[in-house]
Amino acid sequence: MILVVNAGSSSIKVAVFQPTDTADLTEVMAGQVSGIGGPLAHIDLGTDDKDIAAPDHDAALTAILTSLAAQGITTQTLTAAAHRVVHGGTTLVAPCRVDDDVVAGIEAAIPLAPLHNPNNLAGIRALQTLAPDLPQFASFGTAFHATNPDVATSYAIPAEDRAMGIRRYGFHGLSYAWIVTQFGDDIPSRLLALHLGSGASLCAIKDGKSVATSMGYSPLDGLTMGTRSGAIDGMAVLRMAEIHGMDEAARRLNKDSGLKGLGGANDMRLLLAADTPEANFAVDHFCYWAARHAGSALVAMGGIDAVVFTGGIGQNSADIRDRIMAHLAFLGDIPVHVVETHEERQIALDAVKLGAA
Ligand code: ADP
């Protein structure tokens, strides 16, 4: 059985999968510890649903392993742990088994994902201590886009800055990898994939491989999102930093912008129900810019054969799907698919492919 671990700043989400004969996976259990580092942490896993003390990630993973063991899943029953790691940097471009070099690579990518990679690493290190014999694997949120050509990933900035790793990386890669897994051999040659959740991005998938994506150096770029601005001129960012200071400007762009900045709420359901001019404008902005960036993706893959939507908005809102497709109506009839996102399953499948049983 494979334990999939998604370690965030204050929560660790886990799922246990049993691989089946058909290279498919059965979910045995899923849950999380929330409130890590706070006064009241909570575990919700299988039949466990209680407050616990979890001052750090070690304590949270100890609680998870204890809870799993009490419900019959011991570290002996587990065959592997597989981690979601947000940023693989330039070196970690495929799922892999965790060893010292991989840990060093994740560490090296911390400046690129200061809010995420330290937590992912904390999860890996905690399990190395708690279950030293358990093989660990890692899947990276950026890796799916490693197939983008240099012309797509490079910013036209001086060489010294490019050498510092300032380039486009792209994110939501596990979601896109899952979409490719779901299509299997029937994947359309030029597939436009839109992951529309709180974070939103799109990806040009040519013959199963990413050739372009809307997020860049960070997940701020591209589409209008729940609380992130999406694409914005670098000079406008610098001006905001001048006005507010760097940290406050970053907070505003990441947490107070997007649907929230335009419509007062980051929740698409609320905006669709509100029907105020601000809410309607926010939704219009979301759909318009999704389509604008789709145009760019179409150029990257030289046309389009099908569209696929995923993520909370993409999966659930036919209204938003229709409104985005209406902007693309000039392309003629394009088949539209919907795939439910399952990043944890993709992580477990990656581990299985690497030999986890
Ligand atoms: P996260 O990126 O945090 O995992 P999700 O993928 O769950 O987020 O997406 C959350 C978004 O999906 C929210 O904006 C929510 O309003 C939206 N959403 C969920 N269900 C619907 C629906 N039926 N119609 C429109 N939007 C929806």
Residue range 71-106, pLDDT digits in tens: 999 989 999 999 999 999 999 999 999 999 999 999
C-alpha span between 273 and 90 (Å, rounded):
42
Distance, in Å, from the CA atom of 26 to the CA atom of 334, rounded to the nearest integer, reads 33
- Residue 109 has a pLDDT of 95
Task: Return the best residue to mutate from 6, 13, 313 for the ligand 1 pocket (most ligand atoms within 8 A of CB).
Answer: 313
Tell me the pLDDT tens digit for each residue of 195-251: 999 999 999 999 999 999 999 999 999 999 999 999 999 999 999 999 999 999 999
Q: What is the structure's pLDDT at 345?
A: 96
Distance CA 258, CA 226 (A): 5
Q: Ligand 1 centroid to 317 CA: how many Å?
A: 9
How many CB atoms sit inside 10 A of residue 264's CB? 14
Is the per-residue pLDDT at 353 higher than 80? yes
Tell how far CA 3 is from the center of its chain. Answer: 18
Mean pLDDT of all residues belonging to the chain: 96
Residue 102's φ and ψ, nearest 5 degrees, are -65, -45
Q: What is the percentage of the chain residues whose pLDDT exceeds 90?
A: 94
* b/e burial code for range 288-313 (CB count within 10 A of at least 16 → b): ebbbbbbeebbebbeebebbbbbbbb
197 C-beta closer than 6 A to ligand 1: yes
Q: Does ligand 1 lie within 6 Å of residue 315's CB atom? A: no
Tell me which residue has its CA closest to atom 19 in ligand 1.
312
Substitution candidate for ligand 1 out of 32, 198, 223, 287 with most atoms within 8 A of CB: 198
316 lines ligand 1 (CB under 6 A): yes
Give pLDDT, residue 309.
98
Domains of the chain: residue spans and CATH: 2-140 (3.30.420.40), 186-342 (3.30.420.40)
Residue 115: per-residue pLDDT: 85
- In whole angstroms, what is the distance from residue 130 CA to residue 61 CA? 8
Give nearest CA residue, ligand 1 atom 4. Answer: 197
pLDDT of residue 9: 85
Structure tokens belonging to residue 197: 């959740």
Q: How far is CA 164 from the centre of its chain?
A: 23
CA of 267 to the centre of ligand 1 (A): 7
Give me the pLDDT at residue 51, please: 96
Is the CB–ligand 1 distance for residue 199 below 6 Å? yes
3-state DSSP assignment of residue 316? helix
Average pLDDT of 133-162? 98
- 197 touches 184 (CB < 8 A): no
Rg (CA), the chain: 21
Residue 44: what pLDDT?
97
Cβ contacts of 176 within 8 Å, gap of 6 or more = 144, 193, 195, 203, 205, 210, 213
User: Ligand 1 centroid to 219 CA: how many Å?
Assistant: 17
Indicate whether 22 pLDDT > 70.
Answer: no
pLDDT of residue 263: 98
When comparing pLDDT for 10 and 299, which is higher? 299
Return the ligand 1 atom nearest residue 271 CA: 16
Per-residue pLDDT, 20: 86
Helix (H, G, I), strand (E, B) or coil at 161: helix
User: Pick from 189, 217, 218: which is nearest to 205 by CA?
Assistant: 189
For residue range 322-337, what is the model confidence (pLDDT) as tens digits?
Answer: 999 999 999 999 999 9
pLDDT at 357: 73
For ligand 1, atom 7, which residue shows the shortest CA distance? 312
Residue given tokens 């997007």 in the structure block: 258
Residue whose pair of structure tokens reads 């494979």 in the numeric block: 2
